[in-house]
Each structure stands twice: as C-alpha cells, then as structure tokens.
A and B are shown apart, each in its own frame.
Chain A
Amino acid sequence: MIVHFEPASEEGIASVVRSAAAERVTLAIVGGGTRAGLGNPVRTDRTLSTRRLSGIVSYNPAEMTMSALAGTPLAEVEAALRAKGQMLSFEPMDHRPIFATSGEPTIGGVFAANVSGPRRYVAGAARDNLLGVRFVNGAGDLIKAGGRVMKNVTGLDLVKLMAGSYGTLGILTEVTFKVLPIPPAAATVVVSGLNDAEAAAAMAETMAQPVEASGAAHLPESVRGRFLDGALPDGAATVLRLEGLADSVDLRVEKLTAALSRFGSVSRLDAEATRLLWAEIRDVKPYADGTRRPLWRVSVAPSAGHQLVAALRLQTGVDAFYDWQGGLVWLRMEADAEAELVRRYVGALGGGHAGLVRAGDDVRARVPAFEPQAPAVVQLTERIRARFDPARIFNPGRMAANV
C-alpha cells in the first residue's frame, strides 16, 4: 500500500523527508496531480503532497512580486493577480485538457515543471520570472535561494536550477515570482492560407518589425477549425498577437498588416477573441481529444520547425501546429510515437528538445520522456542530483534513468 503524506508546514515536510531518507524509501512529490503525465512515470513507496501547504504569503502589486506557498492552487494565484490587473506573463498552460486529468494545478508544480506558454519566446519562461525559492532537500534541510528583488547575482543561481527540476532536487515549499500588468488592449493579426514554410517566413518577418509581437503561432488547415469554434477565416491561420495601450495596438496592427499583406490575406481579431485564441493555443486545444495518442512537444530553432514536420510526414502519420514563431511544435502521432525518428530528425535539424508529453503506458515505460543528453551532461546531472538528494528518494527516474 502506498503511504500518502500531506504535511501542512515546511517543518512537516522536512520531517517526512528526513524519515524517508533514514529509511531509504522513495517519495513521489505531488502538487495537484494534474501533470501526472509529465516526465517518466515513477514508482515510489510513498507520496508527499503539497496540497495543504497553501496560501499567498505576500503580494505587493506596486513591486510586481508575489510569494506563495508551493501548494497554492494556480487558480487562486491568478485570481488574486487579476483583481489587481496583473498576471503571470509566462502564461502557464493547463495540462488537464490533454491529459484528461482533474484536480487543481499548484503554483509549485508550475515552477517545478517550468510550465510556460505562448509569450515565453519573448517574455521568458517560468524560470525567468522566478525570483526566489524555499525548498527542502533530500537530507531534510530547508534551503533558501534567490530573493524578492528583480536583479540578484548573489551566489549561484539555484533558483534557475530548481525551476524545471520536476521535484528531483528538492520539494519547493515557497516560491517568489515576478508578475506583470495585464496589457490594457490586445489584438491578433491573422494571415490566412499560408503553408508551413511561408508561415515561418511571415513569423520571422513579424519579429524583424518594431511591433513587439507577443505571440506568433501557425495553425495549419488540419487544426484551424478546432480554434475559436471554427471562427477563424478559411485556410491555415498564421496568428500574431499584439498587446499594449489601445492606440499603440491599433498603430502596430496597421504596421504589421502592411508588412504581411504580401504573404496572404490579413484580418484582425478583437481583444476577446485574442484572449480565447491564445488560451486555446496555450492549452493545445486540437489535441485535447480524450485519447492517449502520442503527443510530442518539440522545441527547435524557429526555422527548423516546419522542416521537421515536413520530414516526418514523408515517414509517418503526424499532425502538427506551431507556437513560438515556429520553434515550438506540437506533434500528435497517428499511431506509434516514432521516438527514434522524431529525435533523429531534431538532431539533424540543429538540435533541440523533443519531449514526449503524452502516450500510452507501454510507450511511456519504454521511451524516455526527455531528450537523452550527452554523456558528459548526464554525468554532471547525476553529480548535481547527488548533491541535493544523495539517497535519490525524490521522484526517482522522473527526468532520466538515474535522475
């Protein structure tokens, strides 16, 4: 039987960890249980949930920072921010639709998995917005790193290291992060009918213009109808988001429309449609299909995204759409995960990261969820892990065989 712990304090967490370390039993770190599919499946003796370690510790809108206990529901954080006209600029996606899970995503889980959405390619990822952490390491020691100010180079940046470490280095107990004002106005410029390669060129052109696009995605014809209940114009949709003061957005829409009209017919979405569309892109709406068909999240150079998809299409059944100026490819495989093929092509196209986000249990048991790394990096990673969690009690195997 799996023993489940839900300590309500940092000290409680530390004591669960200390006894686990002493007894050499393993712990799964669970936030909301909503991103269960992320990373390799782990089998552990006990689970430790941060659910009861919940609540906003401090929020100072004028300084654009918030501190919250790790188990605080993301929804609570976002509601508090919205009430003051602020937001998490990195737009963490909600994994529940693609995994068909229920439960409450936690702010600790967001940072532990470095969950970041469409604005990431200009405004940074979760890791860029994380200012400070408190965590319990594998010896049960409470450690602080970073702080609550915007600039801090005092010592090694353990904050970055903790972000995206999927609970393999320590249990985050409190996170302090940067927030930004919600832009007062937003619009989306839609270019219709481009093929994937033309879309990549149109998105690169957008980023070369002084219009400060905060979203650049391409939704090929196969997925276009799944967005906005089919309300996007006919043909593939290349979508560019502009945000800011209302007059400025209008000006930039004009400018961008002029720059892109040579690519195809251009139209504009209003603020409400913009909000909805980018939330759907963020949450991978087309592939929230109730299946467990293999889903890859591939990060490559923007110029390589469409080449990857074109190469794969010649070999296997695949559907795809693009975010991050074309550099983030959501790939849904028709049948097999084709891990070897996907990773070989990513390597051949200049490298990047092909993460297997969703697949059946048999596939997840076989295919490493994260791109395998060079041997020297693997060794370094194992040495780091050993310095945080020498007995390897946290989420063993989550990120790689010995990590």
Chain B
Amino acid sequence: MPEMIGFLKPKQAVLDRRQEIVADLKDLLPKGCLISEERELKPFETDAFLAYRRLPLAVALPETTEQVAAVLKYCSRYGVPVVPRGAGTSLSGGAIPQEDAVVIGLSKMSRILDIDLFNRTATVQAGVTNLNISEAVSADGFFYAPDPSSQLACTIGGNIGMNSGGAHCLKYGVTTNNLLGVKLVLFDGTVIELGGKALDAAGYDLLGLVCGSEGQLGIVTEATVRLIAKPEGARPVLFGFASSEAAGACVADVIGAGIIPVAMEFMDKPAIEICEAFALAGYPLDVEALLIVEVEGSEAEMDAMLQRIIEVARRHGVTTIRECQSALEAALIWKGRKSAFGATGRIADYICMDGTVPLSQLSHVLRKTGEIVAGYGLRVANVFHAGDGNMHPLILYNINDPEDAARAEAAGNDILKLCVDVGGCLTGEHGVGIEKRDLMLHQYSRNDLDQQMATRAAFDPEWILNPSKVFPLEGRPAA
C-alpha cells in the first residue's frame, strides 16, 4: 500500500554498522536481552497503528535502569536512534520503530517496588501494566484512577509517554494529574529523578513536561503514582437517545449544570451494535445513541446525582434509561465499552481519531463527522469519552485496499482539522505519534512548534529519541 506518512531516511552509517552495534549491545545486556533475528524482531515492527511497519535494527529488553542507561549512552554516542516501547498499544504509531533504530522495550521491568498506603502512593517499574497497579491495592480499598481501555496490556511507561486517559478521567484527571514522580534516563545515559512522594518540587515542572512527551525527552524506568480510596459504590446507567445530536447536547447540559459524574461515555448505533455483539452487555439496540453515565458514592448519593442527570436527559428526550441491577451487569456494561476497539477490529480494519472539542461543539462535530466519512464512501462508529469532549470516530476500511486506506486517512485528517477549527485539538489522549505529525501546523504556528522543538532539543540535542514522531519532518532545527 502507498504510504502517506513518511519516516526519516535511515542513517546509512548506522545500517552499515549493524553487526557491530548488535555485538556491542549484547555486551551491555544480560543474556537473552537483545533481539536481532528478523523473525524475533517481527512482533516489534508496529504497534496498534497497524497500517505502518518498520523492522528495527535490534530490540533491547533491559532489566534495570543501569542497563537502560548503558544502552542509551551507547546509542547517543554512535548516533543510533532509539524508540522506547511499553506494550506497543499506541494508536498513533508512537512506538513504531525505524530501520536504523534500537527499540528499548521496558517489558522486563515489571516489578511493583513500593506501595505506601499511608501516603497513598505506588512506585513501580515502567513496564508494570496499568491494571496491575489497581489490582495490587484493590484489597486495601484503593485504586489508580486513569483507566485506558487497554489497561490490561498497556504499561505505566507508555501511559506517561502518551499522558493517557480513560473513562474515569472525567472526575479524576488523566495521567499527568495522577503522576507524582519518575526516574528518567536522559539521551546520554544520565539518570535523573523528578518529583516523588511530595507534591511540590523545586524548579521547572519537568515532570509535567515529560508526561505526554512520547518518548522524546528520555526513558522512564520508574514511576510514583497517586492512589485514591475506592468509592463506597459505583453504578453505570444507560441513557438511550433518538439521535446522536440529542445525546451530545445532553452531555453538554449535564456538565453545564455543574454535575460531574465519574464517567460519561458515548456510543452511536454502529458502535452499540458492534459492542453488544461482542460483549452481550445488554445495551439497547433500538436507540440511535447511548450514554453510559457512571455515578459513585453511597446508595443515597448515587440516587441523588442520578436524579439530577435524569432531569437533564428528559429535557433532551431520552428514550431509554436502564440502571444496572447487579455488579455483574455493571461489569458487562464496562466490558462492552472497554472492548469497543477490539470488537470493531473483528469486523473491519479501522483507524481511531482522537480529537477533543469544546462540549458546545459536540453535536455539530458528530454530525459533520458522519458527513465527512460518508463523503469518502466509508463507514464510521463513534465511541468516546464524551464528558471531556474527547471524540473517537472509528473509521472503518479495508487495510488491504490501498485506495480505501488512503480515503480513510484523508477522512481522518478532515475530521481532525474540523476539531481544531471549532476550538479543539488534534489529540486528547492517544498522542501525535506519526499519525497526526503532519497536521501539527494546522493547530500550531511555526513559532509555536519551534518553541516546542527547542524545548525537545534541550533534552535531546541530537534528536536520538523517537525522532520520526510528533514534529513534522520539514522545518526541524539542524542537529
């Protein structure tokens, strides 16, 4: 298939030294921690942005921060690009390698180092999965709030890379709001610590800058995150509507009324059908759009908040209200929502957009999205975090049909431009990666991007770290 998104041209000097580099890296790592056979490199050639693949030069799987530092030091010394990788679930191509790059995978660094319930913190290695943290403290009545749908697989290092969100971030915030500290290896192997169990640190907010930096400022090897006491109870409720616009307007009015539920998720009819077929969650099939609204607290508190939400929903002509009756039903409702992407993947190839828009624009953008995708002769399913305006149109296409793929990418670009034009942004939680890289100038001016790139260069002057990502390939500072 013809590729619309380019990569940096591999450095010939690096490719020529491949054998030597592999041998040197083997010396720096324990046995079995360096992969260089083509067959074994295959699993690392892409992430969840499946349309693009590049076989890396080698994959290093270090077991300690010191080993990460040694590999980075070596690579920066010899100008070898490095692509950090967690579980490879990025939807924007953030973890896709390039031919001259060494992937540094954190999968072997998967230990929980410290759980401190008095101070409500967990300190973990970067390769620990998101769900592992919550599971480790669940019996004590705590959880880690950001909950990407990929939480079974994705790592905390990847979450920090993308500043990931999830359904419950409406109330509790995204990764950056729940991250207290990191151990970070800089491009030249220097190890620094930012933040910790104290809330404030001296100096610039480097922790805030590193969160969401897509592996371009350094490699996170350890993270300290904030834990929260679990609510007494939680209850998802289904609200069905006769149109997507009505559901979108309802979301805006609930928030506008000062009601902030824990989660407010949106699905349109195609998404409902896909998820229901997969999870048998009990979603109503006779509605055009569905909101999953979760309230939490004691029974009385949940009832009170729900009452206020129902009043707003009635004003928007809600057709179905279904409260779940048991923990099992609640689990199924969330299973259906959280497996939306996987379930979609069973019926078609898709690309997932991630623009965020002001809530007042939700209905408008939903309608325009439908028109744009139809204009390219494709289908779309919408399933997303509505409460914070973070939209996920899934554009369905056939990955083996080059023209179809080109149309899908073009439709995606039109949608993202629309998001920016109504006052939103290109990506709310999946990151720029390679996918939205060439749209950055639609959101930012040249000066804005230059300032970001200058900041990046303060961390990584030679652009060793994940260099094909985030910033358009043209107009970069000369290294």
By a beta-carbon cutoff of 8 Å, the part of chain A in contact with chain B is: 60-65, 85-86, 114, 120-121, 124-125, 127-128, 137, 141-145, 147-161, 163-165, 169, 180-181, 204, 207-210, 244-245, 247-248, 251, 299-304, 324, 327-328, 350-353, 355, 370-374, 376-377, 380-381, 383-384, 386-388, 399-400, 403
Contact = CB atoms under 8 A, between A and B. Distances in A.
B458 A152 contact: no
Interface string B179-219: 00000001000111110111111111111110111001100
B256 interface: yes
B209 A251 contact: no
A327 B304 contact: no
A161 B301 contact: no
Contact of B451 (A121, A137, A208): A137
A91 B213 CA distance: 29
A163 B199 contact: no
A197 to B, nearest CB: 12
Interface stretch (B40-48, B53-61, B334-342, B419-427): B419-427
B203 A370 contact: yes
Contacts of A128: 173, 176-177
A353 B207 CA distance: 14
Given A63-B358, A388-B451, 10 more contacts: A62-B252, A63-B252, A121-B199, A157-B208, A210-B229, A251-B301, A352-B198, A373-B202, A377-B194, A380-B186
Given A151-B389, A207-B120, A210-B229, A157 B200 contact: no
Most central of B174, B211, B216, B301 by chain A CB within 10 Å: B301
B205 A160 contact: yes
A125 B211 CA distance: 16
Nearest to B358: A63
A155 B470 contact: yes
B444 A155 contact: yes
A251 B211 contact: no
A303 B427 contact: no
B183 to A, nearest CB: 12
Nearest to A305: B198
A180 to B, nearest CB: 8
B192 A383 contact: no
B232 interface: yes
B209 A377 contact: no
Interface residues of B, number: 95
A380 B192 contact: yes
B255 A327 contact: no
A158 B356 contact: no
Interface of B: 116-121, 140-142, 162-163, 165, 169, 173-174, 176-177, 186, 190-194, 196-209, 211-213, 216-217, 229-232, 252-253, 255-256, 258, 260, 297-298, 300-301, 304-305, 356-360, 385, 388-390, 423-432, 436, 440, 443-445, 447-449, 451-452, 454-459, 470-471
A248 B217 CA distance: 44
B119 A303 contact: yes
A217 to B, nearest CB: 14
A352 B196 CA distance: 7
B456 A156 contact: yes
B356 A374 contact: no
Contacts of A114: 205
24 contacts: A60-B358, A61-B256, A150-B389, A151-B169, A151-B385, A151-B388, A152-B428, A153-B427, A153-B429, A154-B427, A155-B449, A161-B204, A161-B206, A161-B208, A180-B260, A209-B229, A299-B200, A301-B197, A302-B118, A327-B119, A352-B196, A355-B200, A380-B186, A381-B203
B202 A370 contact: yes
Nearest to B301: A248
Given A151-B428, A154-B425, A384 B455 contact: yes
B192 to A, nearest CB: 5
Most central of A63, A150, A163 by chain B CB within 10 Å: A150
B400 to A, nearest CB: 31
Contacts of B173: 124, 128
B23 to A, nearest CB: 30
Given A63-B256, A144-B444, A154 B426 contact: yes
A355 B200 CA distance: 10
A152 B173 CA distance: 12
Most central of B141, B209, B445, B449 by chain A CB within 10 Å: B209
